[in-house]
Amino acid sequence: VRAANAGSQRAPRGAVPSLGFPGDTGLSLSAEAMKINQNTVLQGQRVTLVPYTSAHVPRYHEWMQSEELQRLTASEPLSLEQEYEMQRSWRDDADKCTFIVLDRERWSGQARAEEDCMVGDVNLFLTDAEDPTLGEIEIMIAEPSYRGRGFGKEATLMMMSYGVKNLGINKFEAKIGQENEASICMFKKLHFKEVAVNSVFQEVTLRLDVSDQERRWLLEQTNHVEEKSYVELKLPAGVLET
């Protein structure tokens, strides 16, 4: 839930404030919207995006012991129990949406467990209580052998398309460490423009406003993506009929 290589640089974990306020029915509806992906699988050409479940936590925790990933994502190491708590917050919070990125070919036919096919994750934060159409996007390709091969680009496009179609997002921001040239380059290829530099945090903010033209382009880039039911994919053949 951070960012490396083709990704944005995450503020320290937990730094994004929850936008839920007691009695705010608009945000409780938003909470339902953010939970909409709990049974969603998105299948692309290289990657499959699945909901972040407790089964993914041990592998995720392993990744985040890496000093390189901690540095790239501005994250502090967490205990395994804290990582489980973080996963629960991603599932329940109204201002976060996340998918785990799997190698589609490796996972194909489910011959292997999802944990063995994980390559990273992709996230959207609703960071502005005044503007629910603005989403901060992050991508982390945690497995070094998968970087620079288009996995991050496809996962990012799929998440952007999902945000536009399902969550009402029409503006995206990405915050990336200044040293992370590969990530900055990738987002610029996805039509993001640099809008700010923070010398204190040593990060660059890039932005994309989704005009009608950009929306058409985004949907064209992702017209191969299939949306499926996670529950149905996980159940053995024949179970649904019974």
Contact 205, 168 (CB under 8 A): no
Domain residue ranges in the chain: 40-224
* Three-state SS at 134: strand
Q: What is the mean pLDDT of the chain?
A: 83
**Rounded average pLDDT over 57-64:** 93
Instruction: Report the b/e string of 100-131 with b at 16+ CB within 10 A.
Output: bbbbbeebeeeeeebeebbbbbbbbbbbebee
Enter the tokens of residue 3: 């960012």
Is residue 10 scored above 60 in pLDDT? no
Provide the pLDDT for residue 28.
Answer: 39
Query: Residue 154 is inside which H or E element, if any?
Result: helix 151-166
Provide the pLDDT for residue 172.
Answer: 98
pLDDT tens column, 199-221: 998 899 999 999 999 999 999 99
Higher pLDDT, 198 or 11: 198
CA 169 centroid distance within chain: 14
* Rounded percentage of the chain residues whose pLDDT exceeds 70: 81
Give 88's pLDDT tier (boundaries 50, 70, 90).
confident
Give 110's pLDDT tier (boundaries 50, 70, 90).
low
Is residue 75 scored above 90 in pLDDT? no
Provide the pLDDT for residue 141.
Answer: 95
Fold of the domain built from segment(s) 40-224? Aminopeptidase (3.40.630)
Lowest mean pLDDT among 47-51, 126-130, 195-199, 220-224: 126-130
pLDDT tens column, 119-157: 999 999 988 889 999 999 999 999 999 999 999 999 999
Contact 139, 159 (CB under 8 A): yes
- Please state, in angstroms and as integers, the Cα–Cα distance from residue 66 to each residue in 62, 71, 73, 81, 173, following that order: 8, 9, 11, 17, 26
Dihedral through CA 221, CA 190, CA 106, CA 38, nearest 10?
-80
* Amino acid making up residue 87: Q
Kindly report the pTM of this predicted structure. Answer: 0.83
